[in-house]
Structure 1
Amino acid sequence: MMSFRNLLGATALAFGLAACADSPPPVVAPTPPPVAAPAAPQAPAVADLVGARAVPGARQLTARGYRLARVRGMTRFYWHAAASTCVRATVARGRFSVVEQVPPAACGR
């Protein structure tokens, strides 16, 4: 025979389960998306300067954030600090004949 205490416990359990079945699901706060590390800045392109006159081409490199790092004959090396990029610009007949990215060591970094 079931005692009053057992009957009360079974009844409470039944009502509790019935209440859970009708209740809405618990509210869960959405998890924020993972924060990605900021991308390293990209150095501005320089290939379009091939064929440019040397002085306006050098001004354009400066306007794009490059700074003269060193000079070796008719070749100048420009450093873009934000992007840690070195560019070699070679002058022939008063114009840039080669403008290309080179390893940072070429700029003395």
Structure 2
Amino acid sequence: MMRRTIAALAAASMIGTGMAPAYAKTPGSLSDLVGARAPGAESEMQSRGYKMETFKNGGQYWWNGDTCVRVVVSQGRYASIDKADAGDCGKGGGNAAAAVGAVAVVGLIAALASHKKKHGDDHGGADHDSEYSRGYNDGLYGGQYDRHDSEGYHNGYMAGETEAANRRMANRPYARGGTDGGRTACARRADEFQNAPWGSSVVVSQREQRGSHVYTMATGSYRSVCTADASGRVIDIQPYY
């Protein structure tokens, strides 16, 4: 039911938009998503078996097991979906570095639930949730800030912008240090700490400290600080202040 609803929303969003047709390099199975609003299109990509592997050079790189595609988002919509080399998704040995710092999508539902939990109430119920969702998507996908905003919209926009920044930071060189064991252990612990689906957390920065590594973890728009030794044992995790 959820997938059918998302698909319907993505398709409906293309009606009357005047968006250009799909590029020639766009896989036929994804051509209907060119021009769709990014939130619904991103969910639909996942439902079709794609996983976002990395974000670099202004594009998202998605992999479905045998095909890598590059998605460019502009003004909150999927502007293009082009085939890319497997190496761009960190597959096939072509570009192993592309997989480092890959960002799993946490999703708006998880972000909103975390926001409400952290603030201890529902902030006005459905109207606030709708405004928060609208602001979050605008902030995450580069939409223009609505100057006639509400509190919910503002909070959502700020959270969306933060998640977008986290995605970019996860692919920069200073996020790639430490040990494989420590990074993996802290990613798992950060997922648990933020009550997020497994694979949601990534390292956005790291530093060495007395034989261990301190990792700043991003889980959607939220961050935590995790300390782990070289063997992958988590020593401590705390909220990021």
- Report the TM-score, using the length of structure 2 for normalisation: 0.26
Partner of 2:68, secondary structure, is: strand
Shift of 1:44: 7.2
What's the counterpart of residue 66 of structure 1?
50
1:93 is aligned, of 45, 67, 75, to: 75
Question: What is the CA–CA distance in structure 1 between the aligned matches of 2:28 and 2:79, rounded to whole Å?
Answer: 18
2:33 is aligned, of 20, 26, 49, to: 49
| Structure in which a larger fraction of residues adopt helix | 2
Question: What is the CA–CA distance in structure 2 between the aligned matches of 1:58 and 1:49, rounded to whole Å?
Answer: 9
What's the counterpart of residue 20 of structure 1?
none
Superposition RMSD in Å: 1.7
The one-letter code matched in structure 2 to 1:47 is: S
**How many residue pairs are counted as aligned between the two chains?**
65
Greater relative contact order (Cα < 8 A, sep 6+): 1
The answer on whether the counterparts of 1:74 and 1:92 sit within 8 Å (CA) in structure 2 is no
What's the counterpart of residue 78 of structure 1?
62
Superposed CA offset, 1:35-81 (max 9, x none): xxxxxxxx871111110111111101000000110012541111001
After superposition, the Cα gap between the structure-2 partners of 1:44 and 1:65, relative to the gap in structure 1 and judged at 3 Å, is: farther
Q: Give every structure 1 segment of 4 or more consecutive aligned residues whose post-TM-superposition deviation is greater than 4 Å.
A: none
Unaligned segments of structure 2, at least 5 residues: 1-26, 92-241
Unaligned segments of structure 1, at least 5 residues: 1-42
Shift of 1:100: 1.8
- Report the TM-score, using the length of structure 1 for normalisation: 0.55
Larger radius of gyration: 1
The answer on whether the counterparts of 1:89 and 1:96 sit within 8 Å (CA) in structure 2 is yes
Q: Counterparts in 2 of 1:20-59, with a 5 A limit?
A: 45-59=29-43
